[in-house]
Amino acid sequence: MSFVIRISIVLLFSLPPLIMAGEDETMSIGREFHSQTGFDDRGYNAKHPVFGKEIPLYKTYPNASKTELPPPTVGKMPLEQAIAERRSIRDFTDRPLDLEQISRILQSADGITHTWGNFEMRSAPSGGALYPIDLYLFVFAAEDISPGLYHYQVSDSSLELVKEGDFRTQLYKAANEQDVAESGQICIVMTARFERSTRKYADRGYRYAYMESGAVCQNIYLQTTSLGLGTTVVGAFNDDALNRLLEIDDVDEAALLIMPVGYPK
């Protein structure tokens, strides 16, 4: 037996066992999630699918002061042009935004567009019209609205003040110290209240929430482009730190995406 063959055999038997897809004890958490939230010929792959409890369609802050957003106007940029010009922008000027721009962005992101029977339908598609996505807005520099953390109240197109202050530094740290998170003049944070979906679809509702967040994200991209603004998606962040900053618990509601917005530099 040649020296090369002997060495190859020794190396082969000294390697750790291969991780095989389908072996539950060694399946990655991502692959396990995809498997357990899947369907087969009998229905749910999971042996015991867990359904969430029913929660209100609209999250509210009853004692919060509100800023009503102006009705959004219709832009002039064709959709095809907005798609062609869409970019991820990471450098912004110090020029503040105004409420009209903020209104158009949030309404396009996930605002109510029409009614269908007893349902209030929104600008992004949602499984079962359950709408698990909520939007928060960090305002750093905008006209006619003070710096602070706001919740977008979809039901009446207003901003509910969660807490006043300039949270650039805290957001920067929560975003793993990525400069882009604090460089926009506003910053949208998308969250999911998963039980809105899981009450009907069990754990597969998590998939639908993630799908929906992608649709909302693209709406934000296209509207900011049409307004001559820019944005990007920050998906790498400290979940615990961001959820604490938003004052949510990461169980009933969890942060999904950060999207700073401003005028491109």
**Contact call for residues 190 and 109 (beta carbons, < 8 A):** no
SS3 (DSSP) at 114: strand
- The model's pTM: 0.89
**Contact call for residues 148 and 139 (beta carbons, < 8 A):** yes
Task: Please give the distance of CA 264 from its chain centroid, rounded to a whole number.
Answer: 22
Instruction: Indicate if the pLDDT at residue 20 is higher than 50.
Output: no
Determine what percent of the chain falls in helix, strand and coil, rounding each to the nearest 5.
Answer: 35, 25, 40
> For the segment 126-167, what is each residue's pLDDT rounded down to a tens digit?
999 999 999 999 999 999 999 999 999 999 999 999 999 999
- Domains of the chain, earliest start first: 1-36 (no CATH), 51-262 (3.40.109.10)
> For the segment 60-76, what is each residue's pLDDT rounded down to a tens digit?
999 999 999 999 888 89
> For the segment 50-61, what is each residue's pLDDT rounded down to a tens digit?
999 999 999 999
pLDDT of residue 13: 43
pLDDT of residue 4: 43
> For the segment 71-129, what is each residue's pLDDT rounded down to a tens digit?
988 889 999 999 999 999 999 999 999 999 999 999 999 999 999 999 999 999 999 99
**Contact call for residues 194 and 62 (beta carbons, < 8 A):** no
pLDDT of residue 9: 41
Return the higher-pLDDT residue of 221 and 4.
Answer: 221
Read off the pLDDT of each residue in 8-32 and give the average, rounded to a whole number. Answer: 59
pLDDT of residue 234: 98
> For the segment 228-264, what is each residue's pLDDT rounded down to a tens digit?
999 999 999 999 999 999 999 999 999 999 999 999 9
pLDDT of residue 27: 86
Instruction: Indicate if the pLDDT at residue 2 is higher than 70.
Output: no
Instruction: Indicate if the pLDDT at residue 214 is higher than 80.
Output: yes
> Average pLDDT over the chain, rounded to whole?
92
pLDDT of residue 26: 79
What are the helix and strand counts (H, E) for the chain?
A: 9, 11
Read off the pLDDT of each residue in 175-201 and give the average, rounded to a whole number. Answer: 97
Q: Which residue has the tokens 């700073």?
A: 260
